[in-house]
Amino acid sequence: MRKWLSLAVLTLLVAFAFVSADAQVGKNGESDLSHVGGVYVSSNYANWTMTVDNPTTVAAASPATLILRQPGQVLPDGRTIYPYVGEVVNVGSGANQEAVTLTATSGCFLNAPVDSCTITGNTSNTHGRGDVVASGTNGVGEATQDAGNNGGGLVYWSNDGGIVALSTGGTTTTVCTGCIPINSLVLGVVARVTTTITSACTGWELGDGTTAARFTANNTNLTAGTVSALNTQTTSGVASTTTGMLNISTAKNIVATCATGNPGAGALHVKAFGYILATPNQ
């Protein structure tokens, strides 16, 4: 009997371990943990949504106040986050969606009643009941805030610009908008040519819109399937405050620049990643 009980307990423990592990695994086998090994993972703060419940309609205003149905959002790993002043959120959907920086919040706390959480910010569009509120920073803002609320720490960020066709009307194309967060260490900016680059463009490099080759040196490989040249912010430019790893002034775009002339065709897939050193909020 004792042996049978031991076997039953062991079976239950193994089953629980598999269920627990499965609950912490997202798409493609990636972990859903928002805080692991002392690091806050921004992408796992990105996929939350909250819903505007009242009023039915709020005209564009500076500021406009919206009432959310729930006071916070539980992340896939069970961690709960709440709206905060300074957070950038996307409000609405489709053509009506806009980024709003929150200037005030109220009633957004653990166990708060339904319809008690209000958020305020300047809007350009009409919003109201049923509108979705989501992260406007791909989770970077939420992860940094959570780290600060817990004494500060290391936040890992990554942003994917997707596949972007190069502009044929000029030598520059923004291939990732706002992809370099403020106060961040830029470890890598990498890209793949997904459509062969043609015509007068004889090489391409990646920068921030001010310094053309801040992130990668000029690359003369133009054929689909080739990749970006060596990162310059971690090598020759590392000591510079404008071309180095540290981005401290504002969030930056990633801009592709063609050498010698406009491309006739071409597309790039760009991704950037690095860390933020979050300071304590108290």
The per-residue pLDDT string of the chain (282 residues; one tens digit each, 9 = 90 and over) reads 444 434 333 333 333 333 344 445 555 567 899 999 999 999 999 999 999 999 999 999 999 999 999 999 999 999 999 999 999 999 999 999 999 999 999 999 999 999 999 999 999 999 999 999 999 999 999 999 999 999 999 999 999 999 999 999 999 999 999 999 999 999 999 999 999 999 999 999 999 999 999 999 999 999 999 999 888 888 877 777 678 899 988 899 999 999 999 999 999 999 999 999 999 999
Q: Is residue 42 assigned to a domain? A: no
pLDDT at 144: 97
Per the CB < 8 A criterion, the answer to whether 106 and 118 are in contact is yes
Within a domain: 147: no
**Beta partners for 206?**
256
Q: Is residue 36 assigned to a domain?
A: no
pLDDT in the model for residue 32: 92
* pLDDT, position 261: 96
Q: Which of 137, 164, 195 is the last residue of a domain?
A: 137
CATH code of the domain in which 248 resides: 2.60.120
Do the domain assignments include residue 160? yes
In-domain check, residue 19: no
Tokens encoding 144: 């940094």
Judgement on whether residues 158 and 133 belong to the same structural domain of the protein: no
Phi first, then psi, for residue 58 (nearest 5°) are -125, 115
Instruction: Tell me: do 88 and 183 sit in the same domain.
Output: no
Residue 10 lies in a domain: no
Closest CA to 49 of 131, 155, 147, 148: 131
For residue 110, the SS3 value is coil
Which two structure tokens, joined as six digits, stand for 215? 């992130």
What's the gap between Cα 218 and its chain centre? 27
Tally of domains within the chain:
2
**Of 112, 137, 162, at which residue does a domain stop?**
137
Say yes or no: 165 and 197 in one domain: yes
Q: Is 29 left (phi over 0), alpha (psi -120 to 50) or beta?
A: left
Are 126 and 163 found together in one domain? no
Cβ atoms < 10 Å from Cβ of 272: 24
| Token pair of 278 as six digits | 């979050």
26 domain-assigned: no
Total residue length of the chain:
282
Q: Report the pLDDT value the prediction gives residue 180, as an integer from 0 to 100.
A: 96
Question: Residue 26: its pLDDT value, please?
Answer: 55
Residue 15 lies in a domain: no
User: Residue 106's domain is classified under what CATH number?
Assistant: 2.40.30
88 contacts 97 by C-beta, under 8 angstroms: no
**Both tokens of residue 79?**
């961690």
Same domain membership, residue 128 and residue 199: no
Query: Quick one: 126 and 183 in the same domain?
Result: no
Q: Is 39 helix (H, G, I), strand (E, B) or coil?
A: strand
Contacts of 124 (CB under 8 A, 6+ apart): 60, 98
Domain that holds residue 235: 153-278
Distance of CA 140 to the CA centre of its chain: 5
